[in-house]
Amino acid sequence: QQQVKQSPQSLIVQKGGISIINCAYENTAFDYFPWYQQFPGKGPALLIAIRPDVSEKKEGRFTISFNKSAKQFSLHIMDSQPGDSATYFCAATGSNFNKFYFGSGTKLNVKP
């Protein structure tokens, strides 16, 4: 059973547009929801993370929206740039899990 479901699998956005990636989770015991960015040939790197006590977190052009009742969270990239082209992973974990459950990834391509 996949604990974290991510969509879409791929996304093409024009430069300056908004990129939106969605994730849904199963386990209500999760309490840490990070987003990782991975460039080709590199390891994933933390982009932004949220805990369920807030509904939104913003860092620069990146925003996480969190809906606890729906068990969903999403990443919004404002003013998307070609340099944002990468694969994005959502993840979830909690104090008792000792590991991250990753979504299946979204390959974002920002067209110049």
Partner 1 sequence: DTAVSQTPKYLVTQMGNDKSIKCEQNLGHDTMYWYKQDSKKFLKIMFSYNNKELIINETVPNRFSPKSPDKAHLNLHINSLELGDSAVYFCASTRTAMNTEAFFGQGTRLTVV
Q: Which of 28, 54, 104, 111 binds partner 1 (CB under 8 A)?
A: 104
The b-or-e profile of 29-66 (16+ CB within 10 A means b, else e) is ebbebbbbbbeeeeebeebbebebeeeebeeeebbbbb
CB atoms within 10 A of CB 24: 19
Q: How far is the CB of 103 from partner 1 (least distance, A)?
A: 9
Give the nearer residue to partner 1 in terms of CB position, either 20 or 97.
97
Pattern 32-71, partner 1, x by CB under 8 A: x-x-x-x--xxxxxx--x----------------------
**CA dist., res. 40 & res. 32, Å (int):** 26
**CA dist., res. 8 & res. 69, Å (int):** 21
* Per CB under 8 A, 102 contacts partner 1: yes
Span near partner 1 by CB under 8 A; candidates 15-23, 56-64, 67-75, 98-106: 98-106
User: Which positions ≥6 away from 9 have C-beta within 8 Å?
Assistant: 104, 105, 106, 107
* Per CB under 8 A, 100 contacts partner 1: yes
Which residue ranges make up the site for partner 1 (CB under 8 A)? 31-32, 34, 36, 38, 41-46, 49, 87, 89, 93-95, 97-100, 102, 104-105, 107
